[in-house]
Amino acid sequence: MKNFFLATSCLAVLTLAGCQQSQPALPDLDAEPAVTVATPVDARPTIQDAREFLQQAEADIVDLSLRAARIYWVQANFITQDTNAMVAEVGTEVAELSTRLANAAKRFNDVTLPDDMRRKIDMLKRGSNFPAPDRPGAAQDLSEIMSRMDAVYGTAKFTLPAAQMAKAEAIIGEDADGELEQFQAVRLMAEARDPDLLEAVWSGWRTLAMPYNSGHSQLIGSASVPGNMSNSYAMADDYSGMVSLINEGAQELGYADAGNLWRAGYDMDADEFATEVDRLWGQVSPLYDQLHCYVRTGLNAEYGDDVVPLDQPIRADLLGNMWAQSWGNVYELVAPEGAGEGVDTTALLEAQDYDALKMVQTADDFFVSMGFDPMPETFWERSLITKPEDRDVQCHASAWNLDDIEDIRIKMCTEVTGEDFNTVHHELGHNIYQRAYKDQPVFYKDGANDGFHEAIGDMIALSITPEYLVEIGLLDPADVPGEDADIALLMRSAMDKVAFLPFGLLVDKWRWQVFDGTLSPSEYNDGWWALRTEYQGIRPPNDRPDGAFDAGAKYHIPGNTPYMRYFLAHILQYQFHKAACDQAGFDGPLHRCSVYGNEDVGKRFNAMMEMGSSKPWPDALEAFTGTRDMDGSAILEYYAPLMTYLEEQNTGQTCGWSTPQ
């Protein structure tokens, strides 16, 4: 996101940027927002008018941002009816400010401005990714809808039929008291191998987005909602209401719809951007297709033809992940025979008595080894690193910067696993980026594009190689896998990274269709599954009941986070990694390269990050990689040995899947 004022839901952003040098006492929430931007219409505006407008706009943004960021932080860590109300109230202020500034910025459309001023004006004009219409009450309506959806997601629990609940409790090793929370459901999806239980858990979580009086509970259980919600709450109704509001707001700003507004934020024409992401997908889709074919064959061997037919898309509940967006949790079901042993990072962490805090400290040490300053003391004092036992929190991992200077934090219900070991590196990467551009004007306190922000930490995670694990004392040198284990290492990685690519692409492709009216509310679910089948080759495990809104079971839909950033990040992280390894003079296979301890790479990387969004993203990309084009060739180079292996293994297999018409 561009910074805090450009988001009406802080839970949807990764950088919650306030921009004040000091931290004043919190003002009264009932006070009128301090918005003083004037929009005279009786004279042709001048460059000086634009300059004064931008100065005042920055002051107004700074005035609101820190207070709002603190409120959102508290709500994410203490989800109650009161904090939900506070978020809705301050969200209204943010939406009103963003809408007012965006409409005021239109006054300078025909003024010839210096490039820097034009860039700032255009950023303001794009306003929020979720712009409220400029009419009384609209901002409040939008804020209430968005905070309500987020609260439902953050606190939802669900039940299962008794027989399935008994199976679930046996796996998680605890009495669930009749209801399962999201973290328990995610664990069950990762560990269970009973197709009936997997279907029940998968379907049960999706009751959170459905009308609770729809009668579907007889088949798949039912969900509970926060105490201030109606028992007949239907997320799809709220979502369609939100779409109407933000489309109206986007059209007032001169965009065809909200999707057009989103695509316009990439320093290119909106339609050109849609073509660009299709080009990138075309580069990498052959690798995904081979992985899909191989994994489906392995699942067929485990579950049989009735559960995994070889000529159909894969059931979404069988891939080890609640959203089938990454498949690493079922690696042992398809592990290459005779390919050597990989590294079980979870076992290494447990053997060395790592806890959540030590995992975060290790990630911080990685960045320090590249020449970055360590996290400040306030990071350790104020971050939420483990899940509290006494309250509801939003467990989705995120990185925050409350004052956009040094008050950087993470919020994460960290578990001692290899997956979370990677995630803490990713989240600290956001913090490092946030701190790098802290001296930029408020308008530029963000990544070059939103994919950059996501790619930074993931690029570092690519350096978590066996050699790196030796460096930090987690792995004995004698246990470093040889080259014969490369296929196993790459397969495990690809089942998370490569498997994610089409999901990262289709989430916003679905929203673009929702925003432009291609999909009506009654078609939301069918459209969702049409795209998931087309791009991912997966299908739901059962016929979806009337009222299903399966997209809402993914955090980023009710949490209102644009998702294309994650697809771009999965391209850019490999492009960054290759550039870093070239700079380091590494001459081995790309997947064996680690830049741990390389301060020269750190300096060049920091120089790119310090630019923030002050220049078009091709300028920032060129500063570090030497090219102005995003390119999927680095990911193909990284997995080249695996691609050869997959093609050999898939010889004679039936690959591909049919797409519904």
Whether 427 is catalytic: yes
CA distance 278 to 569: 15
List strand residue ranges (DSSP E) for 468-545, in order: 538-539
Whether 430 is catalytic: yes
Whether 566 is catalytic: yes
Active-site residue, from 72, 168, 427, 433: 427
Spatial contact of 437 and 558, defined as CB atoms under 8 Å apart: no
Whether 252 is catalytic: no
Q: Residue 430, exposed/middle/buried by CB under 10 A (0-12, 13-18, 19+)? A: buried
Helix (H, G, I), strand (E, B) or coil at 232: coil
CA distance 605 to 367: 11
What six digits make up the tokens of 515?
């925003």
CA distance 262 to 451: 13
Active-site residue, from 335, 356, 396, 419: 396
Whether 292 is catalytic: no
Helix (H, G, I), strand (E, B) or coil at 518: coil
First to last CA, the chain: 36
The CA angle 478-482-485, to the nearest 5 degrees, is 125
Active-site residue, from 426, 453, 577, 591: 426
CA distance 656 to 643: 16
Active-site residue, from 266, 535, 566, 639: 566
Pairing of strands 538-539, 314-315: parallel
* Cα 223 → chain centroid: 25
C-alpha distances out from residue 487 to 128, 233, 592, 643, Å: 44, 48, 12, 9
Nearby residues of 110 by Cβ (< 8 Å), 6 or more positions away? none
CA distance 429 to 458: 8
Whether 425 is catalytic: no
C-alpha distances out from residue 312 to 176, 501, 625, Å: 35, 20, 41
**Residue 449, φ and ψ in degrees, nearest 5:** -140, 170
C-alpha distances out from residue 419 to 359, 464, 501, 562, 615, Å: 11, 11, 18, 23, 34
Whether 454 is catalytic: yes
What six digits make up the tokens of 473?
């004392």
Active-site residue, from 176, 256, 356, 397: 397
Nearby residues of 9 by Cβ (< 8 Å), 6 or more positions away? 91, 130, 146, 147, 150, 559, 560
Whether 437 is catalytic: no
CA distance 308 to 458: 32
What six digits make up the tokens of 344?
């079980």
CA distance 373 to 599: 12
Active-site residue, from 216, 292, 430, 591: 430
Active-site residue, from 212, 250, 454, 591: 454
Within a 10 A sphere around the Cβ of 659, how many other Cβ atoms? 12
Beta bridge partners of 315: 539
Beta bridge partners of 446: none
CA distance 520 to 189: 31
Q: What is the dihedral of CA 111, 112, 116, 120, to 10 degrees?
A: 20
Query: Considering only CA atoms, which of 508, 384, 556 is closest in space to residue 14?
Result: 556
Pairing of strands 398-401, 408-411: antiparallel
Spatial contact of 69 and 10, defined as CB atoms under 8 Å apart: yes
Spatial contact of 593 and 581, defined as CB atoms under 8 Å apart: yes
Active-site residue, from 556, 570, 577, 591: 556
Tell me which residues are annotated as active site: 396-397, 426-427, 430, 454, 556, 566
